[in-house]
Amino acid sequence: MKKKYNEQEHIINDQIKYPTIRLIDVLGEQLGIFSSNEALDIALNKGLDLVVISDKSEPPVCKIVDYGKYKFAQEKKAKEAKKKQHSASIKEVKMRYKIEEHDYKVRLNQALRFLQAGDKVKTTIVFRGREIQHFNLAIQLLTKMAKDLKHLSEIQQAPMKDGKNVTMILSPQKKS
């Protein structure tokens, strides 16, 4: 949902209707508790705006700031926080239980690359027809893969049967 042009996310100046507020000046020093009108007069005399910082406290906290600069700084902080945020997606590696060694190494390298990028890896072994009776071989293969990747990952979901598939989820190790 996009914001309308004139819609404000902060309560400023004449919109403040609280009987008393805690006032903070431009430098961040507390000036004390004032009525809304007195605080607004102080802000306007300095040529600045009165902005509600926290309306959850008792009395609400307001700060004397240049609203344009304040809003710009808030948007910049939000943008920086969004940049640093990494959402871990689940990448899937599929194979058969009777996989050759080279093909296994290729799948292992794929999983390694995904884990290094910070993504979770869902390893799936697919069965066809009556192959499902070799369920124990699939468990052994997934256990081998978990052991080969244990320096970089931890098992989030142990190998389990899911219809005609056996799946296991590995997640990147937490950095300490």
0.75 exceeded by the pTM?
Answer: no
Q: Are residues 45 and 115 in the same domain?
A: no
What confidence score (pLDDT) does residue 176 get? Answer: 54
In a domain, 97, yes or no: yes
pLDDT digits (tens, 9 = 90+) for 130-169: 888 888 899 999 999 999 998 989 999 999 988 889 999 9
Distance between CA atoms of 10 and 62, rounded to whole angstroms? 11
pLDDT digits (tens, 9 = 90+) for 24-67: 888 888 888 888 888 888 888 888 888 888 888 888 898 888 88
* Structural domain range at position 51: 13-79
Tell me the percentage of the chain whose pLDDT exceeds 70.
Answer: 93
In a domain, 96, yes or no: yes
The count of domains in the chain is 2
What confidence score (pLDDT) does residue 8 get? Answer: 62
Peptide bond preceding 59: is omega within 30 degrees of 0, i.e. cis? yes
In a domain, 103, yes or no: yes
**CATH assignment of the domain containing 46:** 3.10.20.80
Residue 127 scores a pLDDT above 50: yes
Confidence of residue 106 (pLDDT cuts 50, 70, 90): very high
Confidence of residue 105 (pLDDT cuts 50, 70, 90): very high
Peptide bond preceding 60: is omega within 30 degrees of 0, i.e. cis? no
**Could you tell me which residue, 92 or 5, shows the higher pLDDT?**
92
Q: Are residues 158 and 100 in the same domain?
A: yes
Q: Which of 120, 137, 124 is nearest to 163 (CA)?
A: 124
Q: Are residues 120 and 150 in the same domain?
A: yes
In a domain, 7, yes or no: no
Which H/E stretch holds residue 75? helix 67-84
Q: Are residues 25 and 97 in the same domain?
A: no
**Could you tell me which residue, 168 or 4, shows the higher pLDDT?**
168
